[in-house]
Structure 1
């Protein structure tokens, strides 16, 4: 790609705070986003910001008992736009952002901190139940139907209670009809597990040799196509999920970011699933493009179909912070617009230009 047509990562707005921020999420269909984190006194901070031309306006700020770790709108309808959160007290909660005095839903999801949350089934009609997935230090992965308050609809517990691995991240995918749905989980020892929620069992597992900090399918609501796995030690992997070999599983390509920092997450561009942003522990954002191979599958010597991994190309990168970028989210409505939070206690809004040239 010639330099003139390269996408540029530009910082549009920067706001310094006195809050530790862990996550941020655009409110679908609006120019607003939510940040989640912790005040110095270890209470929860939920803020709503709105873009107003060149300014970032604070619409709402709410303090709660427990620090917030993560959030998602994935299980909410477009009409309600309700935010689901996981906190340091192990609770999963759902909030009506017009009235945050009390959550509209609360469940004790884990014994301690909810490390990650993902949502599915809220915005697409006919793609299964609106569900949340959570994971925690207890090594458990739990799935919640937001219409039921009492207990998880699925739970995947550690096989050996004497060898519990911290589960750091979860991600829904393969939710292309009312029946099919998968869930990825990543653990501190490098384990990656794919649970088939229809069969309620492990469909596939591997180990990437480094703690898994982030996971994402390129789209939740299509037949599995590919997914990214982000790790400690500067690595990420992209797995081709179209073809699962009975012994070798999914083909993958691995990439190391230049700085040797933790790869906190990869977020696929909603308007073009081959483009994704990697957020890193060195305060950098790295923009990548995935290139499919000429053939996505071949036959092995036994006649079994074997997937073929593509390649990744770094389009550009930008240093935006002296501290790790903990949370990143693309706007679902305006291509290239993003919000991110870093451990320098700042929130930033940026734009990636020339994505139509990619």
Structure 2
């Protein structure tokens, strides 16, 4: 149900630009009015472009063509003074780039035997404690964690047991980095599995199946004690898990919402308010949501064991920007309400979401 009232935020398409390649991901460059776009040319090469906002148009300031198509990217593990972009490509390579001189990668490793579908970073940009690390998930079924300060071996690897079938990993997310030692990775797979890996103990901390391919995962914040995790799916539902208290039998509580009437390609939490997030629709739509906590976040079962209580999710606003899926989205970390999104219609759009402070 959508909230009503004159104070509701509005999603306004501010600037847009059509490109000549398929766009897979977009990211704001921290502490700037620029963003980076990655994707795939029809001739099978990778696209990497930097855009800045003009008064009436989006202006390309840097343009690089790479040997291999690029699927995903993140700034999450870079130092703020460097702002190196980490990318995953169709040939399984993970690379980092200096966008000012992006002809050759700063770091390159053959990370996987097949396409890297998803990537996330932590420990960079002054956010979160611990080492700067990058996690990659691949069609080859493995999830790997990398420290680019080290040699070309992963610092951690999660893979199926010999008795398990190989599953295509579609989504990864770091979380729980509130101390130097604590860190988790959430991974989502094509069969609906979600697995939470504890990197301190190198074990599976929790797992569940949401009966639908997991297209996107994100914790509401990476640098706090685990609070909420949102998972989006192939057939239009998303799950918001309260991950503060895990019951030994019930696991983590969640609330399920149906949205977009199509695949939900991803989710992005508002940097300035962890209870507000945007979901990306396969029908070309964006939906803005707010999570409302219950009066009491925990209760006890008949045996006196504590379990978590899920809250509710409220749709604040939605807009249809095109006819093709929204493939990438990122909030500006510096200016509240400013965001950029990309669609499979080969268009990148800068949008403004108004009145967010009223939420």
Matches within 5 A, 1:50-199: 50-124=52-126, 127-160=129-162, 163-199=165-201
Shift, 1:5, TM fit: 0.5
Match of 1:298 in 2: 299
What whole-Å deviation, never above 9, does each CA across 1:38-87 have from its counterpart, x for those lacking one?
A: 11101000000011233211011100100000000000011110000000
Q: Distance in 2 between matches of 1:335 and 1:215?
A: 22
Q: Matches of 1:2 and 1:53 in 2, distance apart? A: 33
Q: Distance in 2 between matches of 1:113 and 1:244?
A: 33
Q: Distance in 2 between matches of 1:305 and 1:57?
A: 54
Instruction: Flag the 1:220–1:83 CA change in 2: closer, same or farther, 3 A.
Output: same
- Note the C-alpha offset of 1:287: 0.4
DSSP-derived class of the 1:344 partner:
coil
1:218 corresponds to 2:220: yes
* Greater than 3 Å deviation, 4+ residue runs: none
For the residues of structure 1 that align with 2:293 and 2:109, how far apart are their CA atoms? 42
Give the match for residue 255 of structure 1. 257
1:194-241 CA-partner distances (Å, limit 9, x unpaired)? 000000110000000000000000000111000100001100000001
Equivalent residue number for residue 26 of structure 1 = 28
Q: Which sits farther off after the overlay, 295-304 or 202-211?
A: 295-304
1:45 corresponds in structure 2 to 47
Give me the whole-angstrom Cα distance separating, in 2, the residues matched to 1:281 and 1:125.
31
Q: 266-275 or 242-251, which moves further after superposition?
A: 242-251
Is residue 283 from structure 1 mapped to residue 281 from structure 2 by the alignment?
no
Where 2:329 maps in the other structure, the secondary structure is strand
SS in structure 2 of the partner of residue 210 of structure 1: coil
Give me the CA root mean square deviation.
1.0
Q: Distance in 1 between matches of 2:208 and 2:230?
A: 13
Q: How many residues align?
A: 357
Q: Give matches, 1:260-339, under 5 Å.
A: 260-339=261-340
Q: 1: distance between equivalents of 2:126 and 2:181? A: 14
Aligned with 1:242: secondary structure? coil
Could you tell me which runs of 5 or more consecutive residues in structure 1 were left unpaired when the two chains were aligned.
none
1:89 and 1:322 map into 2 onto residues whose CA distance is: 29
How far, CA to CA, are the matches of 1:183 and 1:266 in structure 2? 16
